[in-house]
Chains A and B, each alone.
Chain A
Amino acid sequence: MNSKRTDRLATRVIYLLVAIIILVLIGILGNILIAGVPHLSWHFLTSASSSFEAGGGIRDQLFNSLYLLVLTLLISLPIALGAAIYLAEYAQDTWVTRLIRTTIEILSSLPSIVVGLFGYLLFVVQFGLGFSIIAGALALTFFNLPILTSNIEQAINGVPQAQREAGWALGLSNWKTIRGVVLPSALPGIITGIILSAGRVFGEAAALIYTAGQSGSIVDYSNWNMFSSTSFLNVMRPAETLAVHIWKVNTEGIIPDVNLVSAATSALLVIVVIIFNFGARLLGNWLYRNLTAAKVK
């Protein structure tokens, strides 16, 4: 009888702990959304931020976040794709491959502040770029590379071996098989992986405060010349993102409505990340159904 009572007790404790965590999540999401969503107005999204008065918006931060995300993906995708193809298709099980895998694991577990400081040292100080979008995008690339690489590698590994053999049987080279057969079948998985990593990049701040900087410059959204210093496309201007903005107004800011601004910005960040997370799955499944002949698992 005693062991049965222990069993019941253990079950109850486990259910209790699970319930606590679900409540914690509900508490977190509820807190952010209830405090932030009412303040998320069109005006808030489209007006410039203020450094000392109440009522500032997040227009520039929002654009900077998106711009940095696009640049980061543009730089990191080719490298991650190449590395993932190498690891999935070419690498043999030798000490070199093991060393490469260890390297990627180490890179993925590096604290993002260390990656950011490295970016600061190399681009901002050594190359003299100053706090700039391009320095931020490169730091985010370093932060993004290991995750994106392993996501893509998993997607490629999911393609059945028979598909490759079919390509070889047609006399295609390995490389042609990869490009023409393996990558198209892995595409849904690759896109899911990209979107998931994009969610992470969008919310990252520690790697950015000493690379892209903590302040904005005057931005002119009608100036399309990338090389003009006031253009919104200029990659050499300092840029504060949404996540950095939350950190900045809470630690150094003096605006009176700091809680409102941070709550609304947090809500926006969380909503975007949720959309990314669930959108990635939905889009992945949809692509899988429509681009490949296979049935959804």
Chain B
Amino acid sequence: MNKHEQDLQEVVDQAIAEQKVPHVKFKKIDPESVDIARLTSPSKETRQEHWGKGLTSLAIAVIGILIVAIIGFVGVRGLATFVDDKVNIFHFLLTSNWNPSAGKDHVGAAAMIVTSFAVTLLAALVATPFAIAIALFMTEYKSGKQAQFLQSVMELLVGIPSVVYGFLGLTVIVTVIRTIFGGTGFGILAATLILFVMVLPTITSLTVDAFKAVPQDLRKSSAALGATRWQTIYHVVLRAARPRILTAIIFGMARAFGEALAVQMVIGNAVLMPYNLVSPSATLTSQLTSQMGNTVMGTLPNNALWSLALLLLIMSLAFNFLVRLIGKRGS
């Protein structure tokens, strides 16, 4: 029994000793019947609370460990190219001679990096006007049934699996490009056309949020000044929503950058610096998808692929960081 419990015991004893009210039965409240241990130990509710909090914290910890493990594992593997195989990191980033099985002077990923960025930027460039138009339609022009219909259209576009986009690209888009431009039809243009549809819902839904966050008063003030709807949109709504639209576009780009299978099916998978939009090429993701199974763990060709994966991971973190940066600037 510690000090605290002794004090409590004394208080209880004293209270019982001083009790003068006759109708209370003394036998029931004698010093022995008061369970000090129970009074000072945590109640059932407190124990439940600890149990619940512990259980849910555990789930959070799992997620935390997971992200650390992903970065750790992919990081260690990806750095092996530079640490164990002594590949120059600038050589890796800036040259485009990719044939890792031929030795450490042939590990240049520039062609894939350029293609990855090209398809990402082009897809965002094509998707943004459409996304803004749809978001404007849903928030400024129509609400209710028509907006809901467009919402379902976007949900359907999100729901279609990426391999299905890839298959359509392979059978429809590549064929069309082949007939119009000649060549194989594989390349950046085909990948852009698929990715633009895939990232459109992401950009649109975030842009809708951006427009909805613009206070209604601003629109009314603008209308009171005699501005037309388009003038209000162009000078007020778009301007006020700009940081969040930028965030939306970056989220879309992050999705385009990381998309693997759909791109792999239409890009052509030749690690060459693209010289136009319809020449076969390869992105970081497409190279990973198609080659990871063909290399032996621990060899230079395999390590080089893990470096591509690390680059992908770093870019994903960079996109996240950029979103945060713009969010801070905007607020």
Interface residues of A (CB under 8 A from B): 3-4, 6-7, 10-11, 13-15, 17-18, 20-22, 24-25, 28-29, 31-32, 78-83, 85-87, 89-90, 100, 102-107, 109-115, 117-118, 120-122, 125, 142, 145-146, 149, 171-176, 178-179, 199-200, 202-206, 209-210, 214, 243-244, 246-247, 250-251, 259, 262-263, 266, 269-270, 273-274, 276-277
Is there contact, CB below 8 Å, between B258 and A114? yes
Docked Cα-Cα span, A141 to B170, in Å, equals 29
Residues in B lying within 8 Å of A, measured CB to CB: 44-46, 48-49, 51-53, 55-60, 62-64, 66-67, 69-70, 73-74, 77, 129-130, 133-134, 136-137, 141, 150, 153, 155-157, 159-164, 166-168, 170-172, 197, 200, 228-231, 233-234, 251, 254-255, 257-261, 264-265, 285, 288-290, 292-293, 297, 306, 309, 312-313, 316-317, 319-320, 324
| Inter-chain contacts of A202 with B (CB < 8 A) | 161
When chains A and B are docked, how far (Å) is the Cα of A158 from the Cα of B309? Answer: 38
Say whether B59 contacts A17, CB under 8 Å.
no
A179 to B45, CA, bound (A): 13
Which A residues touch B197, using CB under 8 A? 24, 28
What's the least CB distance linking A58 to chain B, in Å?
13
Inter-subunit contact B45/A173 (CB<8 Å): yes
Which chain A positions have C-beta within 8 A of B168? 28, 31-32, 266
The reply to whether A18 and B150 contact each other, CB–CB distance below 8 Å, is yes
Q: Is the CB of B48 within 8 A of A176?
A: yes
* Chain A positions within 8 Å of B74 at CB level: 114, 117-118, 121
CB distance from B325 to the nearest CB of A (A): 13
Could you say which of A178, A251, A259 contacts B264, with CB atoms under 8 Å apart? A251
A121 touches B73 (CB 8 A): yes
Are the CB atoms of B70 and A110 closer together than 8 Å?
A: yes
Q: Is the CB of B156 within 8 A of A122?
A: no
Q: Please state if A247 and B166 are interface contacts (CB–CB under 8 Å).
A: yes
Task: List, sorted by A's number, 20 A–B pairs whose CB atoms are closer than 8 Å.
Answer: A3-B230, A3-B231, A6-B231, A7-B229, A11-B229, A25-B157, A79-B59, A82-B60, A87-B60, A109-B320, A113-B288, A114-B74, A125-B297, A142-B70, A145-B63, A175-B48, A175-B49, A210-B293, A244-B163, A270-B159
